[in-house]
Amino acid sequence: MSNRQISTKQQHKQYGIFYHSVNLSIMTSSFNKKGLHMKYKGIIFDLDGVICHTDKYHYLAWKQLADKLGIYFDEKINNRLRGVSRMDSLEIILENYNGSLTATEKENYSEEKNNIYKRLLEDMSPSDLSKEVKDTLDQLKEDGLKLAIGSSSKNARYILEQLGLEGYFDAISDGNNIEKSKPDPEVFLKACEYLGLSPKECLVVEDAKSGLEAAIEGGMDQAAIGDAVYTQLATYDLATFSDLLKCIR
Ligand code: G6P
Ligand code: MG
């Protein structure tokens, strides 16, 4: 079942969610088992900042390394690291470094940061997964949607395990299966491939500008949450995670 969506740049409000634009595309829509019309067949979630809040751990780990190297680092710089791979994050931090590092030193420092980060992740548990997020994910599954993770992190599977979500998602595309991190669309295109769906059949949920840009480039619709809302780039802006349920019908 498909329907042609008419191009419009008009912003309008529906169910309390702002639609910035409607894609100039032929969207494939479908009906689920309960006969409900679904706009998407799959949802791809960024992990850090969407499903859970590991940003604070990334900040603490990078801060410890930056302090050791005498590099100025604050929360504002940390925000630029969202969705960006570990090595690219180090390069951003090194913008404030008066000196140069060899490739091996960079490898060693990024590993050092990761060891600090992983020690902090040990404290994560299923109690770090909010009820709202879990209930919404369960409802989306109930509605027949396929769910995937699309994260630049190489620690994504460990984080999911810590949250009690091991084996929960239909597909995981993460830092271990990509060459380029967001804003390159590779991580989301791989997630679509793993789900067996086309980009047009999927919605991406993101808290980072780099992630929204990746989804736009990849040809998926996007739902922004958290700070990503201020970019005004996304198809939908979510005030809260459960608003997602209003975007899919
Ligand atoms: C996510 C986070 C980034 C982080 C990246 C790599 O995208 O938003 O801040 O740099 O993952 O994480 P990793 O766990 O592989 O160091
Ligand atoms: Mg994120």
207 and 235, same domain (yes or no): yes
Residues marked as catalytic? 46, 48
89 lines ligand 1 (CB under 6 A): yes
138 and 33, same domain (yes or no): yes
133 and 97, same domain (yes or no): no
Most informative mutation of 152, 178, 205 for ligand 1 (most atoms within 8 A of CB): 152
| CATH number (domain holding residue 209) | 3.40.50.1000
pLDDT at 26 over 50: no
87 and 45, same domain (yes or no): no
C-alpha distances out from residue 36 to 142, 154, 234, 249, Å: 11, 36, 25, 8
C-alpha distances out from residue 210 to 1, 78, 193, 197, 205, Å: 32, 14, 21, 22, 12
pLDDT per residue over 139-194, tens digit each? 999 999 999 999 999 999 999 999 999 999 999 999 999 999 899 999 999 999 99
User: Cα(83) to centroid of ligand 2, in Å?
Assistant: 5
Q: Is residue 23 a part of any domain in this protein?
A: yes
116 and 137, same domain (yes or no): no
Q: Whose CA is nearest to atom 16 of ligand 1?
A: 86
Q: Is residue 143 a part of any domain in this protein?
A: yes
- 89 labelled ligand-binding: yes
* Token representation of residue 31: 């009906």
Where in the sequence is the domain holding 82, given as residue range(s)? 55-121
N- to C-terminal Cα separation, the chain: 14
Place of tokens 């005498």: 70
Q: Is residue 5 a part of any domain in this protein?
A: no
User: Cα(31) to centroid of ligand 2, in Å?
Assistant: 30
- 115 labelled ligand-binding: no
- 206 labelled ligand-binding: yes
139 and 83, same domain (yes or no): no
Domain boundary among 94, 121, 148: 121
70 and 181, same domain (yes or no): no
66 and 103, same domain (yes or no): yes
155 and 241, same domain (yes or no): yes
86 lines ligand 1 (CB under 6 A): yes
Ligand nearest to the CA of 187: 1
Q: Is residue 226 a part of any domain in this protein?
A: yes
Place of tokens 């802006």: 237
152 and 65, same domain (yes or no): no
Domain boundary among 81, 104, 121: 121
Q: Is residue 161 a part of any domain in this protein?
A: yes
pLDDT of residue 249: 85
pLDDT at 33 over 80: no
> Do you know the residue count of the chain?
249
Confidence of residue 29 (pLDDT cuts 50, 70, 90): low
Q: Is residue 191 a part of any domain in this protein?
A: yes
| CATH number (domain holding residue 65) | 1.10.150.240
Predicted TM-score (pTM) of the model is 0.87
H or E element, residue 108: helix 103-121
Query: What total of structural domains would you count in the chain?
Result: 2
95 and 201, same domain (yes or no): no
Q: Is residue 1 a part of any domain in this protein?
A: no
- 142 labelled ligand-binding: no
pLDDT of residue 231: 94
209 lines ligand 1 (CB under 6 A): no
User: Cα(47) to centroid of ligand 2, in Å?
Assistant: 6
